[in-house]
Amino acid sequence: MPPVISFHFGLPEAGLLRRLKAVGIKIWGCATTVAEARWLAERGVDAVIAQGAEAGGHRGIFLTDDPVRDASKQIGTLALVPQVADAVGDIPVIAAGGIADGRGVLAALVLGASAVQVGTAFLVTPEAATSAVHRAALKTATDDGTAFTNLLSGRPARGLINRVMAELGPISRDAPAFPTAGAALAPLKAKAEAESRSDFSSVWSGQAASLAVEEPAADVTRRLWAEAEALRQHFL
């Protein structure tokens, strides 16, 4: 039995949550705004993940559904974490988005987080199931090389800007609904990937990808904590 189940895009219906809690499973939920964090807190989550706009992969957005209007409103981790921490009281907050070294870890803790969630920095570890084209694209990632797109799945997600995002414009009201949007691109994706191109692939990445180090996942975890601890002793 998993000790924790973490939900993206809101929560399942209350009956299912009650059954999970009854057998001792902790429930985590992802919030991209203070309103979403309050919504999760009201439904009894054990921790709130505050996902800032820097984060790679799908936005956890669930209280609004207009990708065109909402893309430019997404809140950065630095602004989101303390506001979520203030809003949810005693519920632990897990900071996510743009954290890829000890500086980010310590900053998140100072902002009011109890823990951090790291995604992009693990994509280049040997344990990750990251595809060859995705790994190659991450090697040349820059701070301004990502954007939100809903073209690849139907929901907004941050990824490295590739051909389909550049040529169609990364966000479109015409994208098919989640999760079917990728199906239309599948033949193009397969052909491009066979030629080692990520033109039509979901090359998810956060804005701090260039900080990632190719080393085993356990080493990443230990290094991030050691760096944060050294900084804490220096500054606090």
Ligand X SMILES: Cc1cc2nc3c(=O)[nH]c(=O)nc-3n(C[C@H](O)[C@H](O)[C@H](O)COP(=O)(O)O)c2cc1C
Question: Applying CB under 6 A, does 99 fall inside the site for ligand X?
Answer: yes
Residue whose CB is less far from ligand X, 12 or 236: 12
Written in H, E and C, the secondary structure of the chain is CCCEEEECCCCCCHHHHHHHHHCCCEEEEEECCHHHHHHHHHCCCCEEEEECCCCCEECCCCCCCCHHHHHCCCCCHHHHHHHHHHHHCCCCEEEECCCCCHHHHHHHHHCCCCEEECCHHHCCCCCCCCCHHHHHHHHCCCCCCEEEECCCCCCCEEEECCHHHHHHCCCCCCCCCCCCHHHHHHHHHHHHHHCCCCCCCCCECCCCHHHCCCCCHHHHHHHHHHHHHHHHHHHC
Q: Least CB distance from residue 212 to ligand X, whole Å?
A: 9
- Selected range binding ligand X among 14-22, 38-46, 53-61, 188-196, rule: CB under 6 A: 53-61
- Selected range binding ligand X among 68-76, 112-120, 146-154, 223-231, rule: CB under 6 A: 112-120
Question: Applying CB under 6 A, does 208 fall inside the site for ligand X?
Answer: yes
What is the size of the binding site for ligand X (CB under 6 A)? Answer: 21
- Selected range binding ligand X among 31-39, 93-101, 166-174, 226-234, rule: CB under 6 A: 93-101
Residue whose CB is less far from ligand X, 135 or 197: 135
Question: Applying CB under 6 A, does 54 fall inside the site for ligand X?
Answer: yes
Give the one residue of 32, 33, 74, 120 binding ligand X; rule: CB under 6 A.
Answer: 120
Which 8-37 positions form the footprint of ligand X (CB under 6 A)? Answer: 8, 30
Which residues form the interface with ligand X (CB under 6 A)? 6, 8, 30, 51, 54-57, 96-99, 117-121, 123, 204, 206, 208
